[in-house]
Amino acid sequence: MAFEIFLPQSRIEESRGLWPDRLPIDNLDAAAAGSPGVTAFVGWNSELRGEVRLSYAELAERADKIAVGLVALGIGKGDVVAFQLPNWWEFTALFYACNRIGAVANPLMPIFRQRELRFMLGFGEAKIVVVPARWRGFDHMAMMQELRGDLPNLRHVFAVCSTGVESFERVFLDRPPLSAAEKRTLATLRPRPDDVVEMIYTSGTSGEPKPVMHTANTVLAAVRCFMDDITVTSADVVFMGSPYAHQTGFIYGMLMPVMLTTKTVALDLWSAIEAAPLIEREAATFSMGATPFLSDIVNLPQEPRARVTRTLRTWVCAARRSRACWCSAPSAI
């Protein structure tokens, strides 16, 4: 099953001027071409206990290698590629690789286990799943092997930080730079701005989770309106502790920094005490997260809290039962 949204021509005409009418991959291409050496991603991999830094040129190159690898595995327009990953660069590169070839990215929270994944992967008919080999002490590959028999549409499972045959790195990254022929092939697969780019599930608190489909236009319009309302610019550095597999992290921690050609700083496992020095060191000026994240920051001891206020200008928070709010001065924290 491939996912598409069909809109009447009259509705498309009415929307002209309201939608960006571009793709997320266009933003990455523009950033890589215009600012190849600018830092795109700084992240901490708690499994490897190591930091990763990527420029826009490096991130774009990896995304294109992944795109070629997906095509080689038979993934095409409307096919669902699921990934259950923390805030690692692989999440970002996978999304842009999917967008390059018209596949639908299906982010899944790393805390989901057999019950949730059996339903979500089965309903969405995901053809490929990418998971961490292990994260927070849990064997994600063993879980996926247990689920394979219940998912007839699932063709492949790959693991990040694995050395086996299922290694994400071996399959997608251990290849030379793209050839001219491969670049031409990718260009022919370009989707439209009204094609589905993301399928993300609701929490399922009132029943089974519901898959929400987003197009390039809907997600990028949200980013553009947010940047205008909150005044986020290319001079900002974005810190994101909220999961990329939540729409907060996905839109404002992953899409928005690339749209601005600025640096995003990602924490893969939330800890206010670890976030404080990272925010200070990378001079992060903007963040967004649910109210418990901000509460953790506010309740830090004086010294680490002071680290945050040295650079952080804006923290936007919102929750289901509260209105969105933001603080735009260090004294507010």
* pLDDT tens digit sequence for 204-227: 777 788 999 999 999 999 999 999
* pLDDT average, residue stretch 187-207: 91
Of the pLDDT bands very low, low, confident and very high (cuts 50, 70, 90), residue 320 is low
Nearest to 178 by CA among 42, 23, 57: 57
Q: What is the pLDDT of residue 13?
A: 59
Report residue 70 as tokens: 């997906």
Q: What is the pLDDT of residue 15?
A: 60
Sign (positive or negative) of CA dihedral 118, 120, 124, 129: negative
Q: What is the pLDDT of residue 208?
A: 82
When the pLDDT of each residue in the chain is averaged and rounded to a whole number, the result is 91
* C-beta contacts of 199-206 below 8 A and 24+ residues apart: 199/3, 199/80, 199/104, 199/105, 199/106, 199/124, 200/106, 200/107, 200/245, 200/247, 200/250, 201/108, 201/120, 204/116
Q: What is the pLDDT of residue 232?
A: 94
* pLDDT tens digit sequence for 253-309: 999 999 999 999 999 999 999 999 999 999 999 999 999 999 999 999 999 999 898
Is the pLDDT assigned to residue 29 strictly greater than 90? yes
- How far apart are alpha carbons 31 and 262 in whole angstroms? 9
Q: What is the pLDDT of residue 64?
A: 98
Sign (positive or negative) of CA dihedral 154, 156, 161, 162: positive
Which segments of 73-215 does DSSP mark as H helices, in order? Answer: 89-101, 114-124, 140-147, 168, 180-188
Q: Helix, strand or coil for residue 141?
A: helix
Q: What is the pLDDT of residue 328?
A: 54
* pLDDT average, residue stretch 17-43: 95
Is the pLDDT assigned to residue 78 strictly greater than 80? yes
* pLDDT average, residue stretch 217-245: 95
Residue 282 contacts residue 307 (beta carbons within 8 Å): no
* pLDDT average, residue stretch 125-134: 97
* pLDDT average, residue stretch 146-168: 95
Q: What is the pLDDT of residue 48?
A: 85
Is the pLDDT assigned to residue 96 strictly greater than 60? yes
Q: What is the pLDDT of residue 10?
A: 62
Of the pLDDT bands very low, low, confident and very high (cuts 50, 70, 90), residue 66 is very high
Question: Who's near 284: CB < 8 A, 6+ residues apart?
Answer: 237, 238, 239, 265, 278, 311, 312
Domains and CATH numbers, the chain: 15-267 (3.40.50.12780), 270-333 (no CATH)
* pLDDT average, residue stretch 231-242: 96
Residue 248 contacts residue 242 (beta carbons within 8 Å): yes
* Amino acid symbol at 211: P
* pLDDT average, residue stretch 152-160: 97
Buried/exposed code over 181-204 (b: 16+ C-beta within 10 A; e: otherwise) = ebeeebeebebebbbbbbbbbeee
Diameter of the chain measured on Cα atoms:
58
Which one has a higher pLDDT value, 60 or 5?
Answer: 60
Residue 332 is classified by DSSP as G
